[in-house]
Amino acid sequence: MKIAIMTQPLGKNYGGIMQAWALQHVLKRMGHEVVTINRQPNQPSIAHKAARLAYRAGMKAIGKRKAPINFEKRLPYILQNTQSFIDQHITMSEPLYSTQQLREHFDRENYDAVIVGSDQVWRPKYSPCIENFFLDFLEDKKIKRIAYAASFGVDEWEFTEEQTQRCAALAKQFDAISVREDSGVELCRKHLGVEATHVLDPTLLLDKADYEQLIGAERLNEKPSGVYTYFLDKTPEKFALAQQVSQELGESIYSCRARKSIGEDASEITDYIMPNIKDWLAGFANAKFVLTDSFHGMVFSILFQKPFRVINNTGRGTARFISLLELTQQTDCFITIEKAKLNAVISVCEKILNIMLDDMRKKSDFYLGAFLND
């Protein structure tokens, strides 16, 4: 079967790349031909670019901020390592910038099925043209439509009334819908008028050995070990917490990420370059303890069976964390920065964790296989 996957733009986020790789890997292992659709944000108009440049110049003139590097032109350089992984390991379509380009692509290609997911594909502020992720461009095409581990990111409804009406109508055309969080089941029922199944994030369909094979023996146990930190939103409080864990465990702190986040001031463009994704994965594999504010940081801590704490990240969505931690009976690992109680030296009950994940893997694998082969 020839399958297209609709997910969010890849390149800037390790977790987003890994869930895309994992879903392709699982589907290819089932014997399918798979292409991930490279849906990019709509290209800004000349007027928009001019207005943005004028704003930057104005802010610099009044001393409000430094003029940031023009990231649009330099993104290929900044993302060279993540793009190299995508080029080598994920089969992608050509870049598509609009609904019309999607429509033309699907007119040319003879796909048997389209899978929407995973990650926060059903969160309007994160997905370019939310209706595309409900497959509006397919119109009346006779193609199997499946949502796999689609995520709203939060347990509140963020769609406008108009988006709700359009997406509810489109959702009813799907052959099957599954969501990544248990709260998503109720959101689908209440706002879209459809039933959904709770399944695992694609990264969790694979096990530790699959990722160790991807990382490669040369990286395993050759990178630093200790307290591994992965923060999407860096704050002094989070780094202070890392220092606390480091002192409690008697272990050094290490990380694998760009020295500066996009949007931060930096003296050199090299400060923004994202490290190799296999080095990022090896950081989890070799850690003694993980401290993160990332959903997929939490996922890989679980997959590599590491003691960890995940810091609530309300801006990016709390429901994602709670759903998986409840499933794996690790809610004690969830902390808020205001009320952090670490007791960092904790054990991981591998036997119980593996049983719970195996049960959900069987359910999730069955879901994919059943609806694709129906």
Q: Give the closest residue to 205 by CA, choosing from 19, 31, 3.
A: 19
Residue 73's pLDDT is 80
Residue 371's pLDDT is 87
Domain that holds residue 256: 216-357
Q: Does residue 29 register a pLDDT over 60?
A: yes
pLDDT in tens, 337-371: 776 655 544 555 565 677 788 889 999 998 998 88
Say whether both 131 and 10 belong to one domain: yes
pLDDT in tens, 176-200: 999 999 999 999 999 999 999 999 9
Residue 346's pLDDT is 52
What mean pLDDT comes out for the span 45-52?
43
Say whether both 165 and 273 belong to one domain: no
How far does the chain reach from its first CA to its final CA, in angstroms?
Answer: 12
What mean pLDDT comes out for the span 105-124?
95
Say whether both 97 and 200 belong to one domain: yes
- Residue 307 is assigned to a structural domain of this protein: yes
Residue 64's pLDDT is 47
Q: What is the pTM of this model?
A: 0.89
Residue 49's pLDDT is 44
**Amino acid letter for position 339:** K
Distances (CA, A) of 238 to 193, 233, 256, 307: 40, 9, 16, 17
Which DSSP category does 146 fall into?
E
In terms of average pLDDT, the best of 93-102, 320-329, 362-371 is: 93-102
Say whether both 165 and 286 belong to one domain: no
Say whether both 153 and 7 belong to one domain: yes
Say whether both 322 and 198 belong to one domain: no
Residue 169's pLDDT is 98
- Residue 57 is assigned to a structural domain of this protein: no
Residue 128's pLDDT is 77
Residue 210's pLDDT is 96
- Residue 107 is assigned to a structural domain of this protein: yes
What mean pLDDT comes out for the span 133-160?
95
- Residue 362 is assigned to a structural domain of this protein: yes
Residue 370's pLDDT is 87
Distances (CA, A) of 162 to 131, 167, 311: 11, 9, 34
Least confident among 57-61, 109-113, 266-270: 57-61
**At 250, which CATH number?**
3.40.50
- Residue 297 is assigned to a structural domain of this protein: yes
Say whether both 11 and 122 belong to one domain: yes
Is residue 242 within 8 A of residue 227, CB to CB? The reply is yes
Mean of per-residue pLDDT scores for the chain: 88
Say whether both 329 and 261 belong to one domain: yes
**At 11, which CATH number?**
3.40.50.2000
Say whether both 183 and 228 belong to one domain: no
> CA 289 to CA 103: how far, in whole Å?
47
Say whether both 156 and 167 belong to one domain: yes
Say whether both 162 and 276 belong to one domain: no
Q: Does residue 47 register a pLDDT over 50?
A: no
Say whether both 269 and 284 belong to one domain: yes
Residue 118's pLDDT is 87
What mean pLDDT comes out for the span 52-67?
49
pLDDT in tens, 160-179: 999 999 999 999 999 999 99
- Residue 53 is assigned to a structural domain of this protein: no
- Residue 65 is assigned to a structural domain of this protein: no
pLDDT in tens, 251-292: 999 999 888 877 777 668 888 899 999 999 999 999 999 999
Q: Does residue 135 register a pLDDT over 90?
A: yes
> Which residues, 6 or more positions from 249, have their beta carbon under 8 angstroms from its beta carbon?
226, 227, 288, 289, 344, 345
Q: Does residue 246 register a pLDDT over 70?
A: yes
> CA 129 to CA 39: how far, in whole Å?
10
Q: How many domains does the chain have?
A: 2
Residue 274's pLDDT is 93
Which DSSP category does 30 fall into?
T
Least confident among 16-30, 36-50, 107-121, 236-250: 36-50
* SS3 state of residue 267: coil
Q: Where are the alpha helices (DSSP H) in the chain?
A: 14-29, 46-61, 71-78, 80-89, 99-108, 161-171, 182-187, 208-215, 236-249, 277-285, 295-303, 319-327, 350-373
Residue 31's pLDDT is 95
- Residue 193 is assigned to a structural domain of this protein: yes
Provide the percentage of residues in the chain whose pLDDT is more than 90.
Answer: 64
Is residue 78 within 8 A of residue 19, CB to CB? The reply is no
